[in-house]
Structure 1
């Protein structure tokens, strides 16, 4: 289907689609190194500024775990499939409450039926446009922990066999239990052994309850809200250009190149910048939905004043 709209040199795509164990290990190390360093920032220099900064960085890199898990779901993070699935499940998905197997199953359906009635992620984008007040309320629910609590309550009901209305991203997160319990017990145990048990609640749970959901919502909006309901990857997904600061907090690991990902979903994240340049070289950048930053994205999904 992509070939109808995008025709990049096939040899280049084959080259860009090559997996790399070295890259996979580096990115996994990097995301955890950033989380640990941010936590140490407050533990070693405790003050209000370092606490807020640590919570923002850790919450955004918990989202980074989800981004790399997404690559693992495409079997694109490691060349070795067993390593890919092990790391994707235990080091990336489980710590923040995700489930690699469930996500892979549902996410590939999203790619097959993007922005159609059969897209499991349509619930995330079809509510737009919204008013500015509505958008603010959504982000306030996220940063206050209400979104987190809503999902936990629905998850509890789901595991007891009761009907819930979870869809899209929320639904696959509700399926995991034991891997999340085990990995979080390891995190809590490690912090307790280090003499700072409190950091699990202040520097792991709190960022996940707040910042994580803010960033995830912004990503979901940027990727598909107010895009075309068609089979054209140039217009049913959106790429967002970023600077170093927004890349660090909002779109690490090249997740902002979403048109490119939908056109060639097996290209690993670390090669998406090269794929974007190929798009530019062939003139597709002028045909694709591309915004110059997240402020422009948010403006584009609001009801006109």
Structure 2
């Protein structure tokens, strides 16, 4: 956490208050995300099914985009659990994070927490495990579009999954190269992959038993296809703009960007106020629902003295591509 000037007592006290997690806020946002997912599935599967011709196909594609956006939102909400912001009780925090946010989108809380906290500690250094996500930028436009096409076709999916979970046969070597042997040994001590595989075994076996082939088909259409395509694009764009091609990688106020966009675009690309990324890196203990207030506070009291880095989304993308 960054340290403010010694005389900024009121500012420090305000940030301390903003850092207190509220479990009900987390539960509300989880419920909202799952309600939107359920509504999208119900509308497409029951009211205007894909078999009803062009209207059904259009509704399905809209549902696919909405579901992918909420899968992205589950990633962001799970990120709150990584920082233990759902509850002051760790078991509540991790239970919510695992079973209602991260496991459903194929992410191990333990692995991502290990990687992500290393990222916060070593941002923009050789020890940052997230360097592969942002170090390649800026890219030529052709290379950028090639990445997005591969994402929407699911061709980069294995790389994403290796980052978030342990895949049989391929992840052990990846973890050693990605984390280093010392980190990999420490991660093994906290891995929750057994719980992950039990969770998905129960979901698939239970769904198949009670819902049969219709449930399995719906699972593919309304969960796997969005995740393997649009969700990958949303995650790609957000991962790039947060740290890609920033002006001063050694300056904590200029090595990540806060970016602003239209609320409709934010619904897909920056759900749950994740675009306040500079504020998150400066004060990762502040929950996402307090980040707008933190931004206003820092913009008034701190940013004018530090040349803090924030801009419009389009400006940021222009520095990534071209």
TM-score (normalised: structure 2): 0.83
Please point out which of 105, 109, 134 is paired with 1:125: 134
Deviations 1:147-187 (Å, cap 9, x if unpaired)?
1145568933335x55578748xx99xx7644444444555
2:211 and 2:5 map into 1 onto residues whose CA distance is: 55
TM-fit CA distance, 1:256: 0.4
Is 1:287 matched with 2:296? no
TM-fit CA distance, 1:3: 2.4
1:206 and 1:98 map into 2 onto residues whose CA distance is: 17
Aligned to 1:9: 11
1:255 and 1:103 map into 2 onto residues whose CA distance is: 17
Please point out which of 294, 300, 316 is paired with 1:275: 294
1:211 and 1:246 map into 2 onto residues whose CA distance is: 14
Q: In the alignment, is the contact (CA less than 8 A) between 1:23 and 1:78 conserved in 2?
A: no
Aligned to 2:52: none
1:150 and 1:126 map into 2 onto residues whose CA distance is: 16
Is 1:156 matched with 2:156? no
Show structure 1 runs of 5+ residues with no match. none
TM-fit CA distance, 1:228: 4.3
TM-score (normalised: structure 1): 0.88
Q: In the alignment, is the contact (CA less than 8 A) between 2:110 and 2:192 conserved in 1?
A: no
Aligned to 2:260: 241
1:88 and 1:256 map into 2 onto residues whose CA distance is: 20
1:249 and 1:280 map into 2 onto residues whose CA distance is: 26
Q: Quick one: structure 1 residues 70 and 23, their matched pair in 2 at CA, closer, same or farther if it must change by over 3 Å?
A: same
TM-fit CA distance, 1:276: 0.8
Q: Quick one: structure 1 residues 113 and 203, their matched pair in 2 at CA, closer, same or farther if it must change by over 3 Å?
A: same
Pairs within 5 Å for 1:1-305: 2-3=2-3, 9-44=11-46, 45-46=48-49, 47-151=56-160, 155-158=167-170, 161-162=172-173, 167=178, 177-188=193-204, 189-190=206-207, 193=210, 196-197=214-215, 198-228=217-247, 230-282=249-301, 284=303, 287-293=307-313, 295-303=314-322
Q: Quick one: structure 1 residues 280 and 232, their matched pair in 2 at CA, closer, same or farther if it must change by over 3 Å?
A: same
Q: In the alignment, is the contact (CA less than 8 A) between 2:241 and 2:320 conserved in 1?
A: no
TM-fit CA distance, 1:76: 0.9
Q: Quick one: structure 1 residues 4 and 276, their matched pair in 2 at CA, closer, same or farther if it must change by over 3 Å?
A: closer
Q: Quick one: structure 1 residues 283 and 134, their matched pair in 2 at CA, closer, same or farther if it must change by over 3 Å?
A: same
1:102 and 1:241 map into 2 onto residues whose CA distance is: 30
1:167 and 1:291 map into 2 onto residues whose CA distance is: 31
TM-fit CA distance, 1:131: 0.2
TM-fit CA distance, 1:122: 1.1
TM-fit CA distance, 1:48: 1.1
Q: Quick one: structure 1 residues 82 and 61, their matched pair in 2 at CA, closer, same or farther if it must change by over 3 Å?
A: same
2:288 and 2:143 map into 1 onto residues whose CA distance is: 32
Q: In the alignment, is the contact (CA less than 8 A) between 1:158 and 1:164 conserved in 2?
A: no
TM-fit CA distance, 1:59: 1.3
Show structure 2 runs of 5+ residues with no match. 50-55
Q: Quick one: structure 1 residues 243 and 62, their matched pair in 2 at CA, closer, same or farther if it must change by over 3 Å?
A: same
